[in-house]
Chain A
Amino acid sequence: MNVIEVEGLSKHYGDKKAIDDISFSVKKGEVFGFLGPNGAGKTTAIKVLTTLIPPTSGNVRILGHDLRKDAKHIRSRIGVVQQQESFDPGISVEVSMNLYGLLWDVPKDVRAKRIEALLKQFGLYEVKKTGDADLSMGQRRRLQVAREFLHDMDLLFLDEPTVGLDSLARRAALDFLKEKVKQGMTIFFTTHILEEAEYLCDRIAVINYGKIITIDTPQNLKRKFGQSKSVDFTLLEGSSSDLVRSVEHLDEVSKIAQDASDGAYHIMTSKPEVVIPMLYQLAEKLNLHISSIYIAEPTLEDAFIKIVQEVKA
């Protein structure tokens, strides 16, 4: 069953096409990633899908309901963590959680239990009496994510939910989301942190200039677009311009660069098994010594950059 069905969706602001004729679907229990550079149209897409702004054209069904006709029903079954901060500055964490649960008509006893569990889960229990305005940015973000789980929902929209979180809090939040997905929740997720997308998403849509460029699993995206592997090595001698010149001339090598911070060389190649023996031969010939060498798999970031750059080109 598809939880989100989008056909030919567009959102224009005057001449500017924030979203330009996009189509995709998201299955129940799926984590669907929406990746794109700044201004690609991710947040606009979320605003349309959450009924906050009307589309210019196209058909959208959320949880089986027409976006234009059943907006209120849709909103009653979704949760949204916006990209921008949202909080009530004049009240404490605990009161703000309670009020948010009340807004969603969560019964008092259920609310109390969930608030306690979520405050602990998101590391906010110690600051529950602190005013929202006095929290750090990361704490406010955790509060914003945590309170969304006070109410029941079938579909959760997360617009860069981990911005401002430290790595421990980020991992804890992602693991919590994974657990929710196991329980049947569907998640529509945007992020700039590609490791996060790879960790969480079943499928990813890459969007740029308002258009979807490709949709696939993270593994397939890496296979299709992250073709080059990186052979990373260091020399006992530090650096050698002769070696760089020789490697550059090899047919199997597309690029060689040295990392200024640690002096390591990175060779981009689709045939590391050919390049490595040749590299050793060249080093021996130039009387150089390779102190470490390994093959780095292509990352989702490599694939993402290639996809976006191909569209620009």
Chain B
Amino acid sequence: MNNMARLVYRNLRANLDKASLFFELIFPLFFIFVQGAAVSGIVPPFEIGNGKVVSYALFLAGGAVTLTVINGGTNAGTQLWFDRRHGMFEQILMGPFTRAQYIFSIIITTLIIGMAGSSLVFLFALPVLSGISITAQAALLTGLALFLGTVFFGAFAISLSVALKSSESFQIISAVTFFIFLFTSSVFFPIDRAPNYIQAVSLLNPLTYTTDIFRAGLFDAPTPLLPLEMTVLAVEAAVMFTIAVFAFRRIKV
């Protein structure tokens, strides 16, 4: 096994809190099966692009899968905090690894958690998503959305955990910022029908693009803006990853 694979395996085995993972899985399912089902009765089906009309339950199911991306991101920051708090960060860096390998291992671990979590939520949501046909283009678009979204939020959480002085402040601030990301994105409602100020904020929000690209793939509903949305998300992910690498290099040991 090479260095990276060993580090990723170690991260998965040592740093994952099973209770948190369970909650992160239940959380999106709650939205799909409770909120989606309940609100569908009062919100009529609506068009999401390419002439596709979906129920609110279906719409929310797509958003709930991308919710796991943000949860996966929190995990990246928590892993780094765990290692710093318990002295394993320094211990690993005094072993046969480089800093770059360590940070990449956290990102890859986050991707595995994010993708596995999304797939699980997707599988559980299949009863709601019946009638969806998964084409190669759909798989590509949904996969790309989850990948870029996880990279952005993983890198964001790493940068936060480097900048903040205590694990308590990391938990609070990450919860608050992720809450803002969530409610200024298209996860819960079609953003083009939201008030102007929310629409303005959503243009910067990578979760909006993650969710839009994911839905475009899932429901075969690409809009003319899709290439632009993919580009913006890729750029945001790349910029945030670069920030995370620089922040990580500044960690004092």
Contacts and interface: CB of A to CB of B under 8 A. Distances in A.
Interface in B87-106: 87-88, 90-98
A88 B88 contact: yes
Contacts of B10: 99, 102-103
Interface of B: 1, 6-7, 9-10, 13-17, 82, 86-88, 90-98, 253
20 contacts: A47-B253, A50-B94, A78-B94, A82-B87, A82-B90, A82-B91, A86-B86, A86-B87, A87-B87, A88-B15, A90-B16, A90-B82, A91-B13, A96-B14, A99-B10, A103-B6, A103-B7, A103-B10, A104-B96, A105-B1
Interface in A80-123: 80, 82, 84-91, 95-96, 99, 102-105
Contacts, number: 68
Contacts of A178: none
Contact of B91 (A53, A80, A102): A80
Nearest to B85: A89
A168 B87 CA distance: 26
Nearest to A80: B94
Nearest to A157: B94
Contacts of B90: 52, 82, 84, 86
Nearest to A102: B6
A99 B94 contact: no
Nearest to B91: A86
Contacts of B86: 85-89
A99 B91 contact: no
Interface residues of A, number: 26
Contacts of B93: 52
A78 to B, nearest CB: 8
A51 interface: yes
Interface in A1-60: 47, 50-53
Nearest to B13: A99
A41 B94 CA distance: 18
A306 interface: no
A65 interface: no
A95 B13 contact: yes
A89 B87 CA distance: 11
Contacts of B17: 90
Given A88-B15, A104-B95, 19 more contacts: A47-B253, A52-B94, A75-B97, A76-B96, A82-B90, A82-B91, A84-B87, A86-B88, A87-B86, A87-B88, A88-B86, A88-B88, A90-B14, A90-B17, A90-B82, A95-B13, A99-B9, A102-B6, A105-B96
Most buried by A among B17, B95, B97, B253: B95
B138 to A, nearest CB: 37
A72 interface: yes
